[in-house]
Each structure stands twice: as structure tokens, then as C-alpha cells.
Amino acid sequence: MSRVIISCGGTGGHIYPGIAIGQILRNEISNVEILYVGTKDGMEKNIILKEKFNFTAVESGKLLRKISLTNFLNLFKLFKGIFQSMRIIKTFKPDLIIGLGGYVCVPVVISGWLLKIPIVLHEQNVIPGLANKFLSRLAKTIFVSFPETVKLFPKGKAVFTGNLVRENIGTLDKKECIYKLGLEYSKKTVTLLGGSQGAHTLNMCFLNFIKLLKDENIQIIWMTGVRDYEYCKNEIRNLNIKVLIQPFFENIEEVYAVTDLIICRAGASTVAEIIKCNIPAIFIPYPYASSNHQFFNAEALVKNNCAMILNEKELNPEKLKKLILDLINDEDKLNSFKKNIKRMDKVNTKQEILNVIKEFI
């Protein structure tokens, strides 16, 4: 029996690739036991348990780059988390620990290294996060999602594998999903993602963009997040345009399957899923992300001529309408974007990651 600990949490960008790794191990390796380690209050717990994996929690704290009471409290949580992690590791006896970045995995990876358990890291963004940069010297191997990230880690440790997405992403039939979602096959579908938590600035711009639409032959899918959902739903109720609006789509793979153009943030998981589903995109990077990593994620696609970037400070409904309609009505450009984005999809990602993991278990 092989045993693997996977530590991920905080945001979907860390959690969903962690789940994808667990799914690969569960499907491809017999007699493997997987334990996920996160925090008790994070969103990871419910997501992981829903996928029928075992989960346990440790304390951890996000260290800030300044002296403060919060920093001291988080440092205490980190040390407490290290002792909790050591107890978990001694009980579970893993052959390998996989860290997905974020402050959640720091105590787990440090404890594993102290107990001489092999460490593998996974970096989802073009610009590595602070946790993975800090932990990189403890790792045997680091999976990276973009080729330009390799040089940002210690020499010889990083391997370009591409990012992982969950099962079913990029595998569904478009016609079936259009019928299931109650959409029209004859119309182009534009998807607006405000994020699972909702991005108020984006949602207000999306709302006013939709109000500008008249006779355009498009339909809208709009994920608002919980906070803005009721308000936005009421505002569009009497508009003469098809809008499928939800706070959150449990089966986001169905949305991707029917989408002709997507407008969204540029978090790591979203970018990976867009690449896997071959969807042209207009990215509006979150301007306050650490190290401006969303901009660099989006820029990687723009450099390959398969996406566009619209900075949030330049965002307005009229400009958004022009960009969307110009692109959605330009078949040659849409097809060019699709052709180029397909080249970015590293089709052997799962196998490359699996091959490395098999070296340790």
C-alpha cells in the first residue's frame, strides 16, 4: 500500500489541481491511500470531501512582509501547524508529500522534510507564489504550468508539465450541454465569470454591458458569485436578451463546453481550464493579486495570440461591448485564437506528473 499526502487550500487555484492529482492517483495506481491536509476553516474541506477523499486539518498562518501583531499570531499558528503536521505524518506514514503552494502547505512540507519524506511541489502560476519559492529548496521536483517558470526555481528542480484540471473539463459534448442549459444552438455564447466569490467591479460592468445589448445574436452565461446575484438577477429580468445567470455553476465543465468567448479573471485554475477547453478569452486580471501574478498568467496567452487583456482601470461597459462584439463576430480571429490556444494544451500533463510521482511510491 502506497500512501500520499496532498496539501492544498486557500483558493481554487491551489485546490483544484490538488484534487486533479488525487484523481489521477486514484484512477491510475492500485492500492494507493491519499490524505489531504488543509485548514479547518478554508474552502478546501468541503470541496475535497465532496470528491470522496480523506481530509484532515492543521493550523497555518499567512506571513506578511511587515512587523505586526497579526504576523506574530500567524507565526505561532505556523509553528503549531508544524507540530500537528509531524503528528499526522508519523501516524499516516506517507511515501510522498505533494504541496500545491499557498500558506496552507508550508507546515506540512516543512514537517515532511524534517522527517525525511520526499517532497514534490506544484506551481500553478507563471510567477511562483511566496510559499513555493520558500519551499523550493526542500523539494525533489517542482511541477510548473508554464515553460517560462522553469528558470524561476533552483536549477534542475522544475519540470514543465502544464497545469492540471479536474475530470470532465474539456470532455463534454457542446450540443448536449446547450440543450441541458436551456440555450440556443444558433446563437454565439459569451460567458462572464465574476468568480466563485464574486468580483463586484466586474459584475457592475457586466450588468451595464448587458443593458447595452439590443439585437446582437448572442446569449450570455453569467456567474456572479453570491453577493451580487439577487441584485443582478432583478436588474436583467425584463431585458430582451437570453441570460443564464447563477451565483455559481457546480458543473462548470458544461458552461465551458458551450462557450464561444469568455471574459474573466486570470487565476491559475481558470487559465488552465480555458486552455484545456480551447476557449478564446478576454482576461481582466485582478490588479491586487500577489506579484501581479494574474497579469502574467494572462500575458502568457496573449503572447501566444490566443487571448486579450483588458486592465480593470480601463474597464467600462462601452469598451467591453466593443471588444466582445468585435471578437465574437470575427470568425477568422476566433478560429485563430482557438488554433493557437490548442497548441498551448500540454496533452501529456497527467502522464508526466504520474511518472514522476511513481518514482517515489
Question: Which pLDDT belongs to residue 322?
Answer: 96
Question: Which pLDDT belongs to residue 297?
Answer: 97
The residues near 106 (Cβ < 8 Å, ≥ 6 apart) are: 60, 78, 81, 131, 134, 135
Using the structure block, give the residue that is written with the C-alpha cell 486570470: 266
Domain ranges of the chain: 2-162+347-358, 174-344
Question: Which pLDDT belongs to residue 222?
Answer: 97
Strand partners, 301: none
Question: Which pLDDT belongs to residue 194?
Answer: 81
Question: Which pLDDT belongs to residue 64?
Answer: 59
The size of the chain, in residues, is 361
pTM of the model: 0.89
Question: Which pLDDT belongs to residue 68?
Answer: 64
Among 226, 231, 181, residue whose Cα is nearest residue 207 = 231
Q: How many CA atoms lie within 13 A of 351 on its CB side?
A: 3
Q: pLDDT tens digit string along 291-313? A: 899 999 999 999 999 999 999 99
Among 155, 124, 125, 123, residue whose Cα is nearest residue 137 = 155
**Domain 2-162+347-358 indexed as CATH 3.40.50.2000:** yes
Amino acid letter, 95: D
Distance of CA 102 to the CA centre of its chain: 13
Strand partners, 282: 263, 308
2-162+347-358 and 174-344, same CATH topology: yes
Q: How far is CA 231 from CA 104, 210, 236, 238, 285, in A?
A: 34, 14, 9, 13, 24
Report how far residue 136's alpha carbon sits from residue 323's, in angstroms, rounded to the nearest whole number. 40
Cβ proximity of 283 and 296 under 8 Å: no
Among 172, 140, 170, residue whose Cα is nearest residue 153 = 140
Question: Which pLDDT belongs to residue 290?
Answer: 82
The cell for 160 is: 514543465
174-344 — its CATH code? 3.40.50.2000
Among 139, 129, 159, 134, residue whose Cα is nearest residue 147 = 159
Question: Which pLDDT belongs to residue 67?
Answer: 62
From first to last of the 361 residues of the chain, give the pLDDT tens digit.
899 999 999 888 899 999 999 999 999 998 999 999 999 888 899 999 999 999 999 998 776 556 666 766 878 889 999 999 999 999 999 999 999 999 999 999 999 999 999 999 999 999 999 999 999 999 999 999 999 999 999 999 999 999 998 888 999 999 999 999 999 999 999 999 986 555 899 999 999 999 999 888 999 999 999 899 999 999 999 898 999 999 999 899 999 999 999 999 999 999 999 999 999 999 999 998 888 999 999 999 999 999 999 999 999 999 999 999 999 999 999 999 999 999 999 878 999 999 999 999 9
